[in-house]
Structure 1
Amino acid sequence: MINEKEKDMLLENKNVVVYGAGGAVGGAVARGFAHEGARVFLTGRNPDNVDTVAKEIAAAGGSVETAVVDALDEKSVAEHLDAVVADAGGIDVSFNAIGISPRGLQGIPFADLPVENFMRPVTTYAQAHFVTAKSAARHMIPRESGVIMMHTPEPARVSLPLVGGMSVGWAAMEALNRALSAEWAQHGVRSICLRTTGMVETPVIDVVYGLHADALGIGKDQFTAAATAMTHRKRPTTLAELTSVAVFLASDRASAMTGTVANLTGGLIVD
């Protein structure tokens, strides 16, 4: 039998940049990347949250560095990536996991939703993902290798009420994913999106389900049960499941996959 330590790590010698690394999704995937041998560069706007993840990775023997970077600011992103390349020699994977607070954006009927609140997730997600993808591609295209990755919840594809502009913003991300692949895959740069259900382990989903439950006049547990029942397997996507697929898709073993969405919704969406 092959000893666990003797197995080849999927991301050995890969340099990975994670945006929104202090959040639940960014942190979980960053830990997974590091576990599989990647050198991870964690970024976010809250240094305390990012440092917490970095300490966990370092304690497990991973290679990690941190920086305060605003994914909406092209200058901030570009300067950070220039520094990463100068130090590490290149960028192999860019994973953008930024999120925005759902308060004031979800659980509100369209007829009552202010225009600026509708537009906030649309413009924020589109800008942040374009900025980070464009900046990474500047370094990846000359090397003819790289992976751009993003994550969306199921309202990117399924029409659900009271989600506000979030569903439009997430759908825009998936459209951007396809467009990036159409232009960059010929240069060796793949673009991949991972789509999940709401993940009940994450603090943001606890807030989201509470907002929707309040709007519908039911308990949060009741809303959570209803959301879970919509999947074929009657349970939501877990962070561990998202992480394991993200690691595989970031690796060379998924070299034929680009311009697509990995469907991790457990049957809630059937392609």
Structure 2
Amino acid sequence: MNTNIANLFDLSGRVALVTGSSAGIGFALARGLGRAGSRVVLNGRQPDRVAGAARILRDEGSSVFEMPFDVTDSNAVRMATDRIEADIGPIDILINNAGMQRRGPLEEYPEETWHELMTTNVDSVFYVSQAVARKMIPRGRGKIINICSVQSELGRPSIAPYTATKGAVKMLTKGMAIDWGKHGLQVNGIGPGYFKTELNQALVDDEAFSEWLIGRTPSRRWGELEDLIGAAIFLASNASNFVNGQIIYVDGGVTASL
């Protein structure tokens, strides 16, 4: 067998939709897929933030399209999916990254906040994946990558509802792989550990927490967003054509250590 290794990871010409990609992890993954050759569709609720992110990536030479829509609105999701397929091209890669965190004591956690978290972190993955899978299945191919978390496996104080959502995303990923694998789709997840992002800046700046985390992490550091790109390209490319229903934890070893 003569396999060109570079071709295994080449995403040239493929259309990739990344939800929640105007900042943070989603933006980093969109940037990585763009550098690997994808035509990247950026998404977010705020058109101005999506446009700003798109300008940055275009200036770097990536082929980028803007598609602001609310991933928690199933009708908006279906309309956006149809528009991408008609105006940009068949969606080859979907990364479900949109999500949120709301901390608080579980015994006092507001019911409306629980539902907000579930809708944003779980319902959106179902809505977008289903809409995109309906396009992928007749073509007999497609890559879906769900952003899970180390909290898909581990708990921490004050985030029980978030942990519940990420556990659900992990199991939804496996269910998607089981139902859609026969149609040529690969559905996998990435479970980031603790990364330096805007959302985590307070934790990064907390000396006591940072010291605890670094001591708890076998790699002895915080994650940098670039650390996630390799796993995303692998799962989006032909290199992972027989990988299905798996969660790759990019966490510096946190889930391996007690």
TM-score, length basis structure 2: 0.91
Aligned with residue 251 of structure 1, among 222, 237, 247: 237
In the alignment, structure 1 segments of 5+ residues that lack a partner are 1-6, 211-218
Aligned with residue 156 of structure 1, among 152, 158, 169: 152
* Kept after mapping to 1: 8 A contact 2:92/2:142: yes
TM-score, length basis structure 1: 0.87
Q: Following the alignment from structure 2 to structure 1, what is the Cα–Cα distance between the partners of residues 85 and 106? A: 44
- Paired residue for 2:26? 26
Q: Does 1:143 align with 2:139?
A: yes
1:124, CA displacement in angstroms? 2.4
Q: Following the alignment from structure 1 to structure 2, what is the Cα–Cα distance between the partners of residues 267 and 127? A: 29
* Kept after mapping to 2: 8 A contact 1:155/1:170: yes
Aligned with residue 191 of structure 2, among 188, 195, 213: 195
* Identical amino acids, percent of aligned pairs: 26
147-156 vs 63-72, which moves further: 147-156
Q: Following the alignment from structure 1 to structure 2, what is the Cα–Cα distance between the partners of residues 248 and 142? A: 24
1:12, CA displacement in angstroms? 0.6
Aligned with residue 131 of structure 1, among 127, 152, 169: 127
1:113-135 CA distances to partner (integer Å, 9 max, x unpaired)? 22333343223211100001001
Please list, as runs of the form range in 1=range in 2, the aligned pairs for 1:201-212 lying within 5 A after superposition: 202-207=197-202, 209=203
1:80-104 CA distances to partner (integer Å, 9 max, x unpaired)? 111111133311001121122x3xx
Q: Does 1:237 align with 2:223?
A: yes
In the alignment, structure 2 segments of 5+ residues that lack a partner are 1-5
**How many residues are paired up?**
251
- Paired residue for 1:36? 36
- Paired residue for 2:3? none
Q: Following the alignment from structure 2 to structure 1, what is the Cα–Cα distance between the partners of residues 207 and 134? A: 46
* Kept after mapping to 1: 8 A contact 2:22/2:50: yes
- Paired residue for 2:106? 110
* Kept after mapping to 2: 8 A contact 1:39/1:63: yes
- Paired residue for 1:4? none
Q: Following the alignment from structure 2 to structure 1, what is the Cα–Cα distance between the partners of residues 174 and 168? A: 10
SS in 1 for 2:67: strand
C-alpha root-mean-square deviation of aligned residues, in Å?
A: 1.8
